[in-house]
Chains A and B, each alone.
Chain A
Amino acid sequence: MHINLIAKREVKVGFRNPWSYSFMALFSLFSLGLLIIQSQSYMEGYTYTTGTMLNLILYLLPLMTMLLSSFSLTAEKEEGNWQLLSTYALTTSSFLTGKYVGQALVLIAIVCFGYGISGVAGLVLGKSFAVSTLLFLLVFSICLILLFLGIAMVIGALCRNRWQALTMGVSIWFFYILAWPTLLISVLSFVPYTWIKPLLQIVTFFNPAEFVRIYSVTRLGGGAIFGPEYYKWIYWMDSALGDVCFVALCLLWVGATLWIAARAWERR
Chain B
Amino acid sequence: MKNAFFPTSSTKPACRKSLPVLIKSLRFLPRFIARLSHPQKKRDCYPECSWQPSLQKSSRALITKGESTLTRTRKNQIAFRLLLTSSLALALILPAAYPAQAEASLQALIDQAAPGDTVTIPEGKYEGPIRITKPLKLLAQGKVRLTNPSEEAALTIAADDVTLQGITVLDSRINSDDASIIVSGNRNLLEKVTVETMGTGIQLRGANANTLRNVSVIGKVKDRGSTSAGHDHSAHLSKSASKPKVTVQAQKGNGIDLYDSHDNHLIDNQVTNVFDGIYLEKSTGNELTQNRVEKSRYGYHLMGTTQTSLKNNTGIENVTGAMLMETANATVVGNRFLKQQQNPNSQGILLYDVKNSLLADNRIEGNRVGLYLERSSGITVTGNRLSLNFVGMQLTASTGNTWTNNQFISNVIAAQAQNSETDNLNGNYWDNLLGLDVDGDHKSDLPYEMNPFYLGLTDAIPAYQLFFQSPGFVFLENLFTSGTGSPIRDETPLMPTANVVSAESQTNSNWGAAILGLILLAGSCTFIYVGVKKS
Contacts and interface: CB of A to CB of B under 8 A. Distances in A.
A202 to B, nearest CB: 12
A260 interface: no
Of all A-B residue pairs in the complex, the 6 with the closest CB atoms, nearest first, are A119-B517, A116-B521, A116-B520, A128-B510, A123-B514, A227-B465
Contacts of A226: 344, 465-466, 468
A224 B342 contact: yes
A204 interface: yes
Contacts of A213: 470-471
Given A177-B471, A181-B467, A41 B534 contact: no
B513 A128 contact: yes
A181 B516 contact: no
Interface string B338-359: 0001111110000000000000
A119 B344 contact: no
Interface in B509-535: 509-525, 527-528, 531-532, 534-535
B510 A122 contact: yes
Contacts of A224: 341-344, 346, 368, 390
Contacts of B413: 48
B241 interface: no
Contacts of B518: 116, 119-120
Interface in A174-191: 177-182, 185, 188
B341 A48 contact: no
A117 B366 contact: no
A210 interface: yes
9 contacts: A42-B504, A42-B506, A47-B411, A48-B431, A119-B518, A131-B513, A185-B476, A217-B468, A225-B465
A120 B517 contact: yes
Nearest to A14: B531
A49 to B, nearest CB: 6
A127 B508 CA distance: 6
Interface string B92-124: 000000000000000000000000000000000
Contact of A227 (B344, B388, B505): B344
B465 A229 contact: yes
A193 B461 contact: yes
Given A45-B366, A130-B513, A225-B368, A112 B388 contact: no
B513 A134 contact: yes
B507 A126 contact: yes
B410 interface: yes
Contacts of B32: none
Contacts of A117: 517, 521
Given A112-B523, A200-B463, A45 B469 contact: no
Interface centre among B412, B506, B511, B518 (most CB of A within 10 A): B412
A110 interface: yes
A135 interface: yes
Interface stretch (A51-59, A85-93, A162-170): A51-59
A115 interface: yes
A242 interface: no
Interface size, A (range): 35 or more
Contacts of B509: 122-123, 126, 128
B510 A123 contact: yes
A110 B531 CA distance: 13
A216 B496 CA distance: 30
Given A119-B514, A178-B475, A40 B505 contact: yes
Contacts of A11: 531, 534
Nearest to B461: A196
B485 interface: no
A177 B472 contact: yes
Contacts of A2: none
A241 B188 CA distance: 53
A14 B530 CA distance: 12
B7 interface: no
Contacts of A133: 513
Contacts of B411: 47-48
Contact of B517 (A40, A44, A118, A225): A118
Interface in A66-103: none
A149 to B, nearest CB: 17
A226 B466 CA distance: 5
Interface centre among B366, B510, B517 (most CB of A within 10 A): B517
Contacts of B506: 42
B471 A58 contact: yes
B483 interface: no
Nearest to A198: B463
A122 to B, nearest CB: 6
Contacts of B534: 8, 11-12
A123 to B, nearest CB: 4
A214 B467 CA distance: 9
A185 to B, nearest CB: 7
A134 B531 contact: no
Given A122-B509, A130-B513, A59 B471 contact: yes
B7 to A, nearest CB: 53
B33 to A, nearest CB: 63
A2 to B, nearest CB: 17
A42 B463 contact: no
A46 B390 contact: yes
A184 B214 CA distance: 54
A181 B473 contact: yes
A109 B528 contact: yes
Contact of B472 (A119, A134, A178): A178
A16 B532 CA distance: 7
Interface string B372-390: 0000000000000001101
Interface in A203-226: 204, 209-210, 213-214, 217, 221-222, 224-226
B297 to A, nearest CB: 15
A246 interface: no
Contacts of B527: 105, 109
A113 interface: yes
B464 interface: yes
A18 interface: no
A134 B517 contact: yes
Given A113-B524, A225-B391, A226-B344, 15 more contacts: A11-B534, A12-B531, A42-B387, A44-B388, A48-B432, A59-B471, A116-B518, A116-B523, A135-B516, A180-B472, A200-B466, A217-B468, A224-B343, A224-B368, A227-B344
Contacts of B458: 227
A200 B465 CA distance: 11
Given A47-B388, A113-B520, A227-B344, A15 B412 contact: no
A4 interface: no
A222 B535 CA distance: 48
A39 interface: yes
A115 B517 CA distance: 6
